[in-house]
């Protein structure tokens, strides 16, 4: 019987569910933390992460430890298109349960 060997990702390889720092602007004036939801040829769709949820419209991450953060995180329901060159440092990744839940989120939920 063959033994299962998990797929190892390279440190610079993008994958869905990863939490990354994203840089915006020509000179990198603004950065935010986002979750990669879909990967295209030159662009990536991401959902922004926040530390609060003022209107109760964001999804709260349940398994915060896996993301690489120590505090509560909320994910916005809107997907943003970002150039792959703007994706920076990887912090961690979402659990399968959290990633499935944010993929199923609808705007205005």
CA 13 to chain centre: 14
| pLDDT value, residue 10 | 63
Total domain count for the chain? 1
Q: Decide if 7 is inside a domain.
A: no
Q: Decide if 59 is inside a domain.
A: yes
Average pLDDT over residues 57-68: 84
Task: List, in sequence order, every residue forming a beta bridge with 45; answer none if it has no partner.
Answer: 38, 81
Q: pLDDT digits over 1-51, tens only?
A: 567 666 665 666 889 999 999 998 777 678 999 999 999 989 999 999 998
Domain that holds residue 63: 18-103
Q: Indicate the helix (H) or strand (E) that contains 31.
A: strand 30-39
Report the alpha-carbon distance of residue 84 to residue 43 in Å, rounded: 5
**74-83, strands of its sheet edge to edge:** 59-60, 74-83, 43-50, 30-39, 18-24, 87-93
Q: Decide if 6 is inside a domain.
A: no
Q: Decide if 3 is inside a domain.
A: no
| pLDDT value, residue 9 | 58
Q: Decide if 2 is inside a domain.
A: no
DSSP 91: E
DSSP 99: H
Report the alpha-carbon distance of residue 4 to residue 97 in Å, rounded: 22
| pLDDT value, residue 16 | 93
Report the alpha-carbon distance of residue 56 to residue 90 in Å, rounded: 27
| pLDDT value, residue 72 | 81
């Amino acid at each position: 019987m063959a033994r299962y060997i998990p797929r190892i990702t390279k440190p610079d390889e993008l994958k869905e569910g990863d939490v990354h720092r994203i840089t915006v602007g020509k000179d990198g004036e603004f950065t935010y933390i986002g979750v990669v939801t879909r990967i295209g040829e030159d662009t990536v769709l991401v959902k922004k992460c926040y530390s609060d949820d003022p209107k109760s419209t964001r999804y709260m991450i349940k398994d915060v430890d896996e993301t690489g953060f120590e505090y509560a995180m909320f994910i916005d329901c809107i997907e943003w298109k970002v150039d792959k060159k703007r994706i920076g440092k990887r912090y961690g990744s979402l659990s399968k349960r959290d990633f499935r839940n944010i993929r199923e989120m609808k705007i205005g939920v």
